[in-house]
Amino acid sequence: MAALDLPDPFDAVRFVAGLAERRGRPIELIPVSGRPNLPCGLLVTTDQADCILYSADTTPLHQQHILLHEAAHLICRHDQSAPAAKVLLPHLGSDLVQRVLGRTVYTEPQEREAELVASMILHRAVLDATGRGGEGGGRASWTESVFGRPGGV
């Protein structure tokens, strides 16, 4: 976990962009609305990029956690072991979609691991921002990074 670079102040979108850069593969963030009975986050791996779909109609804090949870699946390399789930995105051809991963597709241990990694990333970001885990920007940047800003994740 210490090897992960966290933006200061912490921002989940910037964190995911840095992860994409380190992996040498684009990660597209796609906000979606009104998806009852479907996972609030979804990781789609195509031949061109990884895509994280996340609920647009939830709080900034929840959106941040969804992004971190799906990014954690990439960090833990869960995307390399799960089968494609064409049922979730039927309009995309199976030759395009290599992997579709949602909370209903992963095994229970993978879900727990992704939740733990996402929580650890946010915990470290809070410690860094409050100055209790190293250099940080203080309480104001912690509040902004956790609760978000208007118009953004």
SS3 category, 100: strand
The residue extents of the domains of the chain are: 12-134
Give the residue from 21, 60, 67 showing the smallest Cα distance to 145: 60
Instruction: Write down the pTM of the prediction.
Output: 0.70
CA angle, residues 129, 132, 134, in degrees to nearest 5: 75
| pLDDT, position 38 | 75
CATH of range 12-134; options 3.10.450, 3.30.2010, 3.30.70, 3.30.530: 3.30.2010
pLDDT average per 10 residues of sequence, the chain (153 residues): 79 96 94 81 85 92 94 85 46 51 59 90 86 52 52 49
Give the residue from 148, 149, 7, 139 showing the smallest Cα distance to 71: 7
Residues 93, 74, 71, 24: is their CA dihedral positive or negative?
Answer: negative
